[in-house]
Structure 1
């Protein structure tokens, strides 16, 4: 019972924090703390946050960052939140004892992160509404959340000047792909400019 209460409290706190983050974005007052962030470290931190959930369902996490740069300019905390939400969402739909794949690679003008699961995929009507707030998916997920995870992802990626797209289909899994520019839009090339833009 105590464990259940603790788990429920943690879920509630996450929902409240997500709502506050989205409200801050909507108000136009969220400021990104832009710095040169280490990609491997950020991926590892996000993976650690979902490790228990993956272990619970014998789900493996495959990480491929062999084609990624060592670093890029972004808000490390928000990028970690993005990756956590993507991995958490994938863990909700991935079959027992399957593998979730997180890939990062360099693009000509930026960096791309993608997370793939072998779950049921999304039909077209669900795909149309997947980024809407408070729209939890009902097709096979283990846990019903508040429907904010992908909304958070989209908001934070777009704050960086990036884009999000989804490749999916019934019975072929889902891949969420987040693309970030080398530097968030409007950030000067100098390190000082990067710091100033974040203040």
Structure 2
């Protein structure tokens, strides 16, 4: 995967997390340490605010705009006009980041990917989002080729170490329903072969007895 492709994949990961964070803002958190929400009205409470999601969301909104300006400066020699604070402007900035990543040196695109990855991790660490997982390539025995994605035929599959969930890192990949492919790793109960079981029911066998 090239650096611009990695940036696009990370932008695709970040977008739904921003939506989840925004959806948390009308909720009052009963216990920030546990991340649980209370749905009854809090007497005398200030404007609705989620003490974990709110600051993270603001950090990402500001950071996305700063990243767009940094990339634009490398491409065009200027930062461009400042964007407003709306969600639509954040989405437009993410669109621009994907485009601009194709016009900057690899080290600059690599830094952009690092910043996007950091925001993704911060969002997933919010308890009511609760998706903090490390995604790594699928393990196969030495000298063997990892399984290709059955939908886009690229070697872009990643597995979450904690849960065994599987997804394709190719941002343009969709399944037959037009959705981002998702599945899980399991083992055949008869012979121990590793299997990828996809959400649409498709099953793929790979690397006998070597599930991650």
TM-score of the aligned structures, taking structure 1 as reference length: 0.27
- Structure having the larger proportion of residues in strand: 1
TM-score of the aligned structures, taking structure 2 as reference length: 0.25
Per chain length, whose mean CA-contact separation is higher, i.e. which structure has more relative contact order (CA < 8 Å, sep 6+)?
1
| Structure number with bigger Rg | 2
- Structure having the larger proportion of residues in helix: 1
